[in-house]
Amino acid sequence: MIVPDKIIRSARKTLAVSVDPFGRVTVRAPKSCSEERIFSFLRKKEAWILRTKSKMQRAGIDLPPENLDGYAFLLLGQRYEITLVNERFVRLDDMQKRIYLPEKKAKDRLVQWLKENAKRILSTVTERKAREMQTSYKSVTVNSARGRWGSCSYDNALHYSFRLLFAPKDVVEYVVVHELAHTKHKNHSAAFWQEVEKYVPDYREKRKWLKDRGILMQVF
């Protein structure tokens, strides 16, 4: 039996159910709607709900708790676990796949650390790929975008979401190549995709990885 995480009653006349990126089920119902009717509705929607939740869970990422101690997430495609410590700086242990995070304002410190590393890594990859593709760009900035992994402005300024750091290295390189290809083609024409394929022959697989794991855009 499907048990909703939240039931929201309002002046609406119909029942509706949604599943958020972390698999939480929300039912929206009329104020006078009985629980019996709600659960009957959920039974009819059960197959869709389970299918949707399964799709969400394939990314292997859970909703971050308020206390990040012990929380695991992807960093360059590998799973790292957070340990809160009474220290001043964020510390990365690649051998143990662990991030030691100052317990004071832990989430803010982690996001800042991720942004700094994303800027360093993405700047390096962009510079290398631009030489390989024989193109140029105006600048590289890192933002907190949740709607897209990267973008290229009309004047060739490149913008990346720091959350791109959650993806494996080869997927990161695909996004960089994708945005650099826009310095030559300001659209998604056949010529654009030919340019991408020249440097990432399996770009379709990389696109699928990003599509299937769009949930990662919601982490932190």
Task: Measure the CA–CA gap between 114 and 91, rounded to whole angstroms.
Answer: 12
132 and 35: one domain?
A: no
Show the domain range for 211: 106-218
For each successive 10 residues of the chain (220 residues), what is the average pLDDT? 91 90 86 94 92 70 80 92 94 96 94 97 98 98 94 97 96 98 97 98 96 83
Q: Copy the structure tokens of residue 115.
A: 């942004």
**Predicted local distance difference test score (pLDDT) of residue 56:** 62
Task: Measure the CA–CA gap between 75 and 93, rounded to whole angstroms.
Answer: 12
**Predicted local distance difference test score (pLDDT) of residue 61:** 66
Beta strands in the chain (DSSP E): 6-10, 16-19, 25-30, 72-75, 78-85, 91-93, 98-102, 139-143, 150-152, 157-161
**73 within domain boundaries:** no
Query: What is the residue whose two structure tokens read 């982690």?
Result: 110
Q: What is the pTM of this model?
A: 0.78
Structural domains in the chain (count): 2
Whether 34 and 1 have beta carbons less than 8 Å apart is answered as no
Please give the single-letter amino acid code of residue 84. L
Considering only CA atoms, give the Rg of the chain: 21
Q: Copy the structure tokens of residue 86.
A: 């009474």
137 and 200: one domain?
A: yes
173 and 114: one domain?
A: yes
Task: Measure the CA–CA gap between 95 and 83, rounded to whole angstroms.
Answer: 14
